[in-house]
Structures are given as structure tokens and as C-alpha cells.
Amino acid sequence: MNSTLPWIILLVPLASAISITLFTLRSKTVSCFISVAAVLVSFACSCLIFTQSDIAAAEFTWIDIGGAFKVPIGFTLDQLSKTMLLVVSGVGAIIHIYSLGYMRDDEGKSRYFAALSLFMFAMLGIVLANNFVMLFIFWELVGFTSYVLIGHWFFRNAAANAGNKAFITTRIGDFGFMIGILMVWMATGSILFSEVGPRMALLASHPAFLTVTALLIFCGAVGKSAQVPLHVWLPDAMEGPTPISALIHAATMVAAGVYMLVRVAFVIQASQTALLVVAWIGAITAAMAALIATQQNDIKRILAYSTLSQLGYMMMAVGLASNNAAMFHLFTHAFFKALLFLGAGSVIVMLHHEQDIWKMGGLRRTLPITFVTFVIGALALIGCPPFSGFFSKDAILALAYERNMAIFIVGLITALLTAFYVVRLLVIVFFGNARSEAARESRESPFVMTGPLILLAVLALVGGFGFFARNFLALPIEKEATSLVQGVALVALIVGSGLAIVIYRNRTSEPIDVEVLRHKFYFDEFYTWLINWTQELLARVFAFFDRWIIDTAAVDGSSRGTWGLGALLRLIQVGNLQAYLFLFGLGVIAVIYFAVFR
């Protein structure tokens, strides 16, 4: 039984996705029942596995070329993956249930739940992977399900474009990731985490190689976790249904990059240079996304930039060589960010798919449960004690204070900005007066949606306390410097939220206009320009060349020009079968001639 548990966790969602696609696309109720049941089974088995210590699951051989190259589908079952299993299947289960309400009247409900189940399969596969190739396989699959779900409303141009952008951008990261995997394989002769780790010492004499390898692997995480410069897809991904934004683009898949780096920390931590790059990419992402978030007006996009920013914190922790701090923040972030997105979803649905925060206002009266839970999520996000985000963000800041002062300062500024834009969001959406008809007439969501909110709010509340989190994670060690860091962070928090309250209280439109932030530092414009002048230009030039030089001039020209060939062609251009058969017959005769007379 024990040895089959991981297989059940992994395969039940896959079975759900397959059976929905094959049999129940027409009957939506059955589809969502199958999908929810599957995720609950996975969650229950994850809980069972969590309580057991020695589990050895059988491997499946995916490819084995007689020793030279072997790819098993096998499992790593340590504290890290067990906790991650709980987070993924737990948050997944909550969001499945919430989706029952959110997607109630959707035409493509069966497709949605099939893709959701497939996502669970892929994400759980990443968590359980015991080798690089298996990790990569499921890594690609989550990207695929993300593409499908972002484009769920594929008939909307924006959603269709966003899906493509997400998939292509992450593939650019995976380009580096795959080369990194190849280099690890070449250098150590293995792809198994358990074998590569001990063999990293072999590489000590090749520091440059090691750094390049580590950074290439990091590329994968840059794409998947939407770090600068590949962050551009995540805000656009908000075109997908909101539960998807909560599950895939906040709590789990985008955090998979962080999880992967923690899983292969033996590669990343072997190179100081690589660590420094990771930390700085994280810091830059954190600060930049927070800056952009202050000027956004779409409730989901604000949350998307805050996800970028928080992922930046996690990367910072990875770069500061603390797996524990990174995982701790991943853990708490999964709860409070999923909570915030689901809360936003509740607002959006009750306002008939209005996402502009300036058309909301005063919602604390009409959506009381959503309001209270959203505030809990928001306080956790800005790191207000004693909410969960306080503990985990504080751990990262303390770490930065100890190891890299410059990064600490960036982290602190980000904390201030976070408080600013989150409180801005709260003030505009929930306080003041309703600024639209929809906002005035809104009502609270049904229990199938508020239930998950309450559950997540509880987790966001207690998730950071040692007595709770210690059961799941190895917590970062508390240092003496902490009290100083805590004090400074609190000051940043108060300054940020105070500023936001002062500026945005009773406003009906944006008083500040910073163009460079509204245009997100012109990344999209720059990339469009870049692609037009490289890929598209080359494509056009080559297409022209192919058509007019290789095809017309070289092929037709040379064939017409050569007399001998020309005669041959005339023979064929007679256009009938006989001529060709004659040519073929000549060939046969030639074979026989050479065979017999030579």
C-alpha cells in the first residue's frame, strides 16, 4: 500500500483528466465531480504520506538505453517534497471547490476541469521528481496546462495572445534549462538528484563551467517563476479565469521555479557567482514589480505584480543560500496569495466581471466575508505581525541583513512599496463610496466561494507561527539581528501604508501619474521592437531568399541552364508515365550492367 501511495497521488488526477476528455465533455456536472474527487484523493494520500517516514515507491522506466542513458519516473520523498505535496494538493483542492462556484455557468466547464486535473498531475509530478529529466517533463506539462487555462476563453483575442506569450516566454527559459541539464549530465554522468549531488565535487576544478551550468539551470526558473527579464508573461496571464490565477499563477506553478532551485541547490550553491546573480535577479524583480504595481488599475494585475515581487523575495532567499527561508516564504505565500486572488475573484464575479479598481469602492459593506478575508490576506502580504507573511518575509530580510547589505536595502524598499500598493488597493476597492452601479448592487458570493476564502484566511493567519509551520518545514534559524530588522521593517510598513491612506483616501481617480510605471518600464514595447528587428526581419529575409534565390534562381535556373540535365528534364516533362518509367528502366539496366559486366 505504502509503495503505491505516490503513484496514486500522481495518477489519479491524470485519470480524471483522461476520463473527462474521453467521456464526459458533454456532462459538465459529472466532469467537475470527477475532477474534485480526484484532487481530494490526491490530497488525502498526500496527508497519509506526510505521516509516514519510510516509503519506497517502485520506479517506472521511461527510457533506458542499456546503461548509457536511463530516465526513470521515480519519486523523491523527503520533508521538502512531502510538504510541497500538501501545499499543492491542499491549495489545489480548495481552488477546485471554489471553481465550482466561479465557473458555474461557464460553457467550457468540462474542458476547464479536465485541464485543472491535468495541471494537478503535472505539478505533483514536479514535486515528486527524482531526476532532472522527469522534472523537465512535468515542468513542460505544467506550462502546457497553464497555456490551456490562460486561453480558456480562447475566443477572446487577449486571452489567446496571453496564452501564446506565456508558453513561448517560458520556453525561452527552458532553452537554457535544457542546456543546463545536458551539461550536468555530461559533467557527472547522471541525471538522478541523488547521484548528481555527491558528484558535484568533481566539478570543483572547473569554476567557470560550474557557474555557467548553475546559471543555465536558473534560466528555467527565471522563465517559470517569471523573473526579470522573462517576467512579461505573468501579468498578461491574468486573462485566464481567476481561480487559475490563484492556483497556477500565484500559489503553485510559478513557485515551482523556486522549488526546483531548492531541489537542485547542490548545483546552485556550488557557485558563489551564480548565487549572487540569483539573489540580484530576485531583488531586481521584487523592487521593479512592486514599483509597477503602484500604478496599476486592474485588481488582478496588481496582484500579479505582487506575485512577481514576492517570487523575487523567494529568489533572493535562494540566492542568499537559504533554502529554508525560500521554502518558508513559498509556503506562506501560497496561502495568502491564493486567498487574495480568490477574494479578488469573488469581487470580480459579484461585479459582473469588472476588474477596474476605480469602478469599485465601498465593497466592505456589500461583501463582508470577502472583505475580512481579503484584509487578512493583504496584511499577510505586507508582512504585518502576526500574520504569516510577517514571519517569512522577516526571515528573508534578516538573512539579507546578515549576508548582503545592498540586497537588504532593496528588500526593505520593496517592503515599503508593497505596503503602499496593497493598502492603496484596499482603500480604493473596499472603502469610500461605490463608484459604479455594479459596485452599489453587489452581494456576497455563495458559500462554495466564501468557504474556501475562510479556510485560506485561517491558513494565512496561522501559517507563519512556529508552532504551526515547524510541522512542515525546517524554519530558518532566528538570529539576534532579527529585532533590529523587525523594527526597520515595521517602520517601512507603517510609512508605506500611511502614505497610501493619506494619498488615496476618498479619491475617485488616480492622483499620481508616473508614465514609466504605467508602461511597466516599457518591457513589452522593447521586446516587440526587438522581435521585429531580429526574428521577424530574419524570417522575412530568409523567406524571400528561399523563394527567389534558392527556389527560383538556383533550382529552376541551374536546371534550365545545364544542357545535360535539360535533356533529362525534357524527357520527364513529356509528362507521362512512360517517360518516367523509361528513365527508371534505364536505372535498372544500369544496375544490372554494372553488376554483370564489371
Cis preceding-peptide flag for 6 (omega within 30 of 0): no
Which one, 44 or 179, has the nearer CB to other proteins?
A: 179
Calculate helix-pair angle for 256-263, 109-128, nearest 10 degrees.
20
Q: Which of 2, 3, 61, 578 binds other proteins (CB under 8 A)?
A: 61
Using CB under 8 A as the binding rule, whether residue 551 contacts other proteins is answered as yes
Q: Which of 43, 98, 102, 136 binds other proteins (CB under 8 A)?
A: 136
Instruction: Tally Cβ neighbours within 10 Å of residue 525.
Output: 11
CA of residue 298 relative to chain centroid, distance: 20
Using CB under 8 A as the binding rule, whether residue 133 contacts other proteins is answered as yes
Which one, 478 or 546, has the nearer CB to other proteins?
A: 546
Pick the closest to residue 12 from 79, 104, 96, 72 (CA basis): 96
Instruction: Tally Cβ neighbours within 10 Å of residue 194.
Output: 11
Instruction: Quote the least distance from Cβ 255 to other proteins, whole Å.
Output: 21
Which one, 257 or 282, has the nearer CB to other proteins?
A: 257
Stretch that binds other proteins, among 318-326, 399-407, 415-423, 533-541 (CB under 8 A): 533-541
Q: Which of 51, 53, 157, 506 binds other proteins (CB under 8 A)?
A: 157
Could you say which residues in the range 335-364 bind other proteins, by CB under 8 A?
Answer: none
Instruction: Quote the least distance from Cβ 271 to other proteins, whole Å.
Output: 14
110 vs 17: CA distance, rounded Å: 10
213 vs 220: CA distance, rounded Å: 12
* Cell reading at 581: 518509367
Q: What angle do CA 114, 39, 94 make, to 5 degrees?
A: 100
Q: Which of 54, 467, 588, 597 binds other proteins (CB under 8 A)?
A: 588
238 vs 306: CA distance, rounded Å: 13
Stretch that binds other proteins, among 326-334, 415-423, 472-480, 538-546 (CB under 8 A): 538-546
Using CB under 8 A as the binding rule, whether residue 535 contacts other proteins is answered as yes
Q: Which of 3, 483, 540, 557 binds other proteins (CB under 8 A)?
A: 540
Could you say which residues in the range 66-125 bind other proteins, by CB under 8 A?
Answer: 66, 68-69, 71
Using CB under 8 A as the binding rule, whether residue 533 contacts other proteins is answered as no
Q: Which of 164, 190, 273, 486 binds other proteins (CB under 8 A)?
A: 164
475 vs 470: CA distance, rounded Å: 6
Using CB under 8 A as the binding rule, whether residue 554 contacts other proteins is answered as yes
Could you say which residues in the range 21-50 bind other proteins, by CB under 8 A?
Answer: 21
Measured CA to CA in angstroms, residue 76 lies from 82, 461, 471 at distances of 9, 30, 19
Stretch that binds other proteins, among 131-139, 291-299, 375-383, 444-452 (CB under 8 A): 131-139
Q: Which of 64, 78, 356, 478 binds other proteins (CB under 8 A)?
A: 64
* Cell reading at 90: 491542499
Dihedrals phi, psi of 66, to nearest 5 degrees: 40, 55
Q: Which of 58, 514, 550, 574 binds other proteins (CB under 8 A)?
A: 550
Q: Which of 2, 29, 154, 437 binds other proteins (CB under 8 A)?
A: 154
Q: What is the CA radius of gyration of the chain?
A: 28
Using CB under 8 A as the binding rule, whether residue 521 contacts other proteins is answered as no
Measured CA to CA in angstroms, residue 321 lies from 325, 329, 476, 517 at distances of 9, 14, 11, 31
Asked if residue 361 lies in contact with residue 434, where contact means CB atoms within 8 angstroms, the answer is yes
Using CB under 8 A as the binding rule, whether residue 161 contacts other proteins is answered as yes
487 vs 491: CA distance, rounded Å: 6
Stretch that binds other proteins, among 302-310, 421-429, 489-497, 561-569 (CB under 8 A): 561-569
Which one, 61 or 79, has the nearer CB to other proteins?
A: 61
Q: Which of 178, 192, 270, 339 binds other proteins (CB under 8 A)?
A: 178
Using CB under 8 A as the binding rule, whether residue 171 contacts other proteins is answered as yes
Q: What is Dmax (Cα atoms) for the chain?
A: 102
Instruction: Quote the least distance from Cβ 149 to other proteins, whole Å.
Output: 13
Binding mask 187-226 for other proteins (x = CB under 8 A): x------------------x-xx-----------------
Using CB under 8 A as the binding rule, whether residue 483 contacts other proteins is answered as no
Which one, 11 or 495, has the nearer CB to other proteins?
A: 11
Return the SS3 of 514. coil
Asked if residue 31 lies in contact with residue 109, where contact means CB atoms within 8 angstroms, the answer is yes
Instruction: Quote the least distance from Cβ 356 to other proteins, whole Å.
Output: 22
Q: What is the DSSP letter of 480?
A: T
Calculate helix-pair angle for 79-102, 28-51, nearest 10 degrees.
160
Dihedrals phi, psi of 69, to nearest 5 degrees: -155, 120
37 vs 292: CA distance, rounded Å: 40
Instruction: Tally Cβ neighbours within 10 Å of residue 258.
Output: 26
Residue 202 class from Cβ within 10 Å (0-12 exposed, 13-18 middle, 19+ buried)? Answer: exposed
Instruction: Quote the least distance from Cβ 171 to other proteins, whole Å.
Output: 5
Instruction: Quote the least distance from Cβ 31 to other proteins, whole Å.
Output: 14
Using CB under 8 A as the binding rule, whether residue 565 contacts other proteins is answered as yes
Instruction: Quote the least distance from Cβ 575 to other proteins, whole Å.
Output: 8
In sequence order, what are the beta bridge partners of 61? 72
90 vs 127: CA distance, rounded Å: 14
Q: Which of 44, 179, 458, 499 binds other proteins (CB under 8 A)?
A: 179
Using CB under 8 A as the binding rule, whether residue 548 contacts other proteins is answered as no
Which one, 173 or 377, has the nearer CB to other proteins?
A: 173
Using CB under 8 A as the binding rule, whether residue 477 contacts other proteins is answered as no
Asked if residue 336 lies in contact with residue 344, where contact means CB atoms within 8 angstroms, the answer is no
Instruction: Quote the least distance from Cβ 530 to other proteins, whole Å.
Output: 14
Cis preceding-peptide flag for 476 (omega within 30 of 0): no
* Cell reading at 92: 489545489
Using CB under 8 A as the binding rule, whether residue 168 contacts other proteins is answered as yes
Q: Which of 543, 557, 574, 589 binds other proteins (CB under 8 A)?
A: 543
27 vs 383: CA distance, rounded Å: 44
Which one, 151 or 496, has the nearer CB to other proteins?
A: 151
Q: Which of 4, 546, 574, 578 binds other proteins (CB under 8 A)?
A: 546
